[in-house]
Amino acid sequence: MRGQQRVVIGVDSSTQATKAVVVDVETGRIQGQGRAPHTVTGADGARESDPEAWWSALGEAVAAGLKDAGADPSAVTGIAVAGQQHGLVVLDAAGRPVRPALLWNDTRSAPQAAALTEALGGPGAWLARTGSEPVASMTATKWQWLREHEPAAADAAAAVRLPHDFLTERLAGTAVTDPGDASGTLWYATTTGGYDPELLDLVGMDAKLLPEVAPTGATRVGTLTPAAAEALGLPAGTVVAAGTGDNMAAAVGLGLGGAGLLDHPVVSLGTSGTVFAASRTRPAAPGIAGFAAADGGYLPLGCTLNCTLAVDRIAALLGLDRADAEPGGAAVLLPYLDGERTPDLPHASGLLTGIRHDTTPRQLLGAAYEGAAFTVLRALDELLRACGLDPAASEVRDRPLRLTGGGAQGRFWRDTVRRLSGRPLVVPHHTELVALGAAALAAGAVTGDDPVATAAAWGAGEGEALPPLPRDQEAWDRIESVLDRAAPTLLS
């Protein structure tokens, strides 16, 4: 590396792993990257991880990234963490976890979500304040579950954090979050841009247990503490940004921001499937999370629990490679192996129907792809409506979708999305968009520049353009009919 080159580190602490990228501040070129896995435990709706393991994984990933880059640690000027949203981290007075963190895809708090919805006066009351309805993934429902099922752990809480808050505090010694990640808690109101006292009272949360909310994810919140600098092998003066949630960071990494709905809404195919777009209009629609963005705007988002992981599970059950698929024919497979979030079916299980004597294993796998892609794309239609757009309008349907996440690299995933949506795609060249977005936030904290503009100048959202395929309306209607008929049963 050149002696005068300045680099920043962006960290993506996700459900399954921590990834760190070392990025040149001027060009956005990824000089190196590292990865360290996480362990997720639990059954029957439980999903938990030890936050201390996240901190260890962060150190391993940063070290691997620096080694891969051949970087002199003294060139590192800033660092930011983007973390999996919604997770509940409960700490004691020494800053140590009281218990494993409850992760976003832990569905045990579905009864608490329903009770909280009614306690405030119904879904509309929540939408009016937070932009989102209570579902099992949200932090406040998990806190309520903890109060009811493990009151000793709740009583022992000296601090309550989100995953990225926990790691940022370890880096800078400062208890801070950002509007984007805070907007997924249900005790932060997007109408006021702060914690809502009535909502805090409703769930028995003392505001003193929560971190301060920085103005944006690029806000400089301090520098590495001596202990963190030593643990990571970085200069003690390295700037720490507030960071944000993983979806907000992905939007930054893609250079999404500004006025109105963007030309390229995002479909992300990962462990979960998400759809989001940047907006300056505050959304408040059923089934869509009206999150804040990391740059001061809004990030309406729909999320499905079952995406690539569910399809891979079906492939394993059938003894097939994930690529050994073909269109499902008459078969419909709703791969709701972990319940579902959008649509809100927390207790659902997978459903297979329409098989015949001539149905092949490859078609069954294809039906799993179709069920997962359909669920994500129907969430996209709801998001567009929440932003005042008609999903069927030609000027909307002609806009390319940005396809991201691990699934975006798979040919059958790409073809299934194109076939069911009838829309063109842009597949960004960069695959670590969450970490890259975190790096842009770190660069913003160092330079004072707008991180979205920085990422756009880096060209992070550019990629391969794929033309649309003729829309398979028959397959869409078949899956939609099965879901609509089955939904009352899946709710039970």
Q: Are strands 212-213 and 176-177 parallel, antiparallel or unpaired?
A: parallel
Q: Given this model, what pLDDT does residue 1 score?
A: 42
Q: Given this model, what pLDDT does residue 2 score?
A: 44
Are 404 and 250 a contacting pair, CB within 8 Å? yes
Query: How long, in residues, is the chain?
Result: 492
Are 456 and 31 a contacting pair, CB within 8 Å? no
Pick the closest to residue 301 from 263, 273, 259 (CA basis): 273
At 141-159, the pLDDT tens digits run 999 999 999 999 999 999 9
The residue with greater pLDDT, 163 or 491, is: 163
Backbone angles phi, psi at 191, to 5 degrees: -70, -35
Q: For residue 261, what pLDDT band results from cuts at 50, 70 and 90?
A: very low
Residue 260 pLDDT more than 50?
no
Token pair, residue 319, equals 């003894």
Q: Is 112 annotated as a binding residue?
A: no
User: Span 282-290, mean pLDDT?
Assistant: 84
pTM: 0.88
| 70 class by beta-carbon count within 10 Å (0-12 exposed, 13-18 middle, 19+ buried) | exposed
Residue carrying structure tokens 């006292």 = 197
Residue 259 pLDDT more than 70?
no
Q: Is 85 annotated as a binding residue?
A: yes
Region of residue 466 (left: phi > 0; alpha: psi -120 to 50; beta: else): beta
At 466-491, the pLDDT tens digits run 999 999 999 999 999 999 888 777 65
Q: Residue ranges per domain, the chain?
A: 7-247
Pick the closest to residue 343 from 311, 371, 367 (CA basis): 371
The residue with greater pLDDT, 5 or 189, is: 189
At 121-146, the pLDDT tens digits run 999 999 999 999 999 999 999 999 99
User: Span 227-246, mean pLDDT?
Assistant: 97
Are 441 and 244 a contacting pair, CB within 8 Å? yes
Residue 314 pLDDT more than 90?
yes
User: Span 42-64, mean pLDDT?
Assistant: 96
Average pLDDT, the chain: 93
Residue 3 pLDDT more than 60?
no
Are 46 and 219 a contacting pair, CB within 8 Å? no
Q: Given this model, what pLDDT does residue 387 score?
A: 82
Please state, in angstroms and rounded to a whole number, the distance separating the CA atoms of residues 129 and 189: 5
At 209-223, the pLDDT tens digits run 999 999 999 999 999
Q: Given this model, what pLDDT does residue 95 score?
A: 96
Are 403 and 267 a contacting pair, CB within 8 Å? yes
| Most confident option among 196-200, 337-341, 378-382 | 196-200
At 329-367, the pLDDT tens digits run 999 999 999 888 788 888 888 999 999 999 999 999 999
Q: Cα dist. 312→271, 348, 352, 366 in Å? A: 10, 18, 16, 11
> Among this protein's residues, is 295 annotated catalytic?
no
Q: Given this model, what pLDDT does residue 258 score?
A: 58
Task: Check 181, 246, 295, 344 and give the catalytic one.
Answer: 246
Pick the closest to residue 247 from 329, 168, 302 (CA basis): 302
Q: Given this model, what pLDDT does residue 4 score?
A: 57
Are 466 and 427 a contacting pair, CB within 8 Å? yes
Q: Given this model, what pLDDT does residue 347 score?
A: 82
Are 46 and 459 a contacting pair, CB within 8 Å? no
Angle in degrees, CA 437, 433, 420, rounded to 5 = 135
Token pair, residue 166, equals 């926990």
Please state, in angstroms and rounded to a whole number, the distance separating the CA atoms of residues 225 and 228: 5
For every residue of 189-217, DSSP letters joined together read ETTTTEE-HHHHHHTT--GGGSPEE-SST
At 432-468, the pLDDT tens digits run 999 999 999 999 999 999 999 999 999 988 999 999 9
Are 57 and 37 a contacting pair, CB within 8 Å? yes
At 385-409, the pLDDT tens digits run 888 888 888 888 888 999 998 899 9
CATH level 3 topology of 7-247 = Nucleotidyltransferase; domain 5 (3.30.420)
Residue 263 pLDDT more than 70?
no
